Amino acid sequence: MSQIHIVVDSTAQISREMAEMYPNLHSVSLKVRLGDREWPEDELSAVELFKIAKDKKLHPQTSQPAPGDFVAICKPLIDAGKEIIIITVSGGLSGTAQGAKSVAKMLDEERIHVIDSGTTSVGIVQMAKTALTMAASGIAVRYIVEKVHAMVEATHTFILVDTLEYLYKGGRIGGAAALFGTILQIRPVLYLLDGKVAVMDKVRTKQRAVTRILEELKKYQDLEYISVCTIDNPRDDQGIIGRVREMYPENQVLPATLGSVLGAHLGPGAMGIVFQKKI
């Protein structure tokens, strides 16, 4: 068994193939809730969540992993003398990183290294893959941690939403802004700034929003990867995947599906672009 283990959270949406490939890769699940019923994120897709929410006329809520969820994975590894790197969804979106840090402090801060990814989804996956590859090559944990931190600084996340309702109910915008935006059909173009949701621009249509986000993307060259993340992958009703591939013919464009936790905060039809500059 590898001496270094990587733990991610469920917003990464680790594939079954990747989980089977790396026995030293682990995932801790956030949870989604509708009324009095709760699911681990991995057990309910965003599409299924929206269907149930619509049928029951309930707004979804989310919660971070319980400390015991991290303990269940980390304590046996620490007892076995292993090193652990935990890579979490942005601290500006969830308290998962803080929860992981509290568990590290309780178990062994010297051997549990918690990294706030500043992003989510494919961003976490790429950081985990790099860490796993370096661990398999026998590289010391401190160098792996340094590399992942460098990836965090080089990673950017853009977000488009179809509706302001979920941002409002999740506390991201005020009621007046939500009402005004809905009446005028304003679509905010968002991005993560220091891990928190910020507004890049406000436009009137989804087509203009896509164009605006691609204009911003053009400012970045020499990229390590680009990913287009959607709620209902491979839905691409604005042709954005093809347009990104035309912009970056030398780069692989990775389609990805956003999970139910991000879906609960962003709403149906939301999509994101996650990319990393070369280090």
Which are the contacts of 221, defined by CB distance < 8 A and separation ≥ 6? none
Do 119 and 162 belong together in one domain? Answer: no
pLDDT in tens, 127-137: 999 999 999 99
Under 8 Å between Cβ of 216 and 82: no
C-alpha span between 31 and 64 (Å, rounded): 6
DSSP secondary structure of 173-223: S-HHHHHHHHHTT-EEEEEEETTEEEEEEEESSHHHHHHHHHHHHTT--SE
pLDDT of residue 102: 97
Do 236 and 142 belong together in one domain? Answer: no
Do 200 and 97 belong together in one domain? Answer: no
pLDDT in tens, 174-206: 444 444 445 456 777 889 988 888 888 888 888
Do 104 and 25 belong together in one domain? Answer: yes
Question: Residue 16 — very low, low, confident or very high, per pLDDT cuts 50/70/90?
Answer: very high
Do 127 and 11 belong together in one domain? Answer: yes
Domain of residue 140, residue span: 4-154
Do 145 and 228 belong together in one domain? Answer: no
Across 6-15, 120-129, 248-257, least confident range = 248-257
**CATH code assigned at 98:** 3.40.50.10170
C-alpha span between 110 and 81 (Å, rounded): 11
pTM: 0.93
Say how many domains are in the chain. 2
Amino acid of residue 68: G
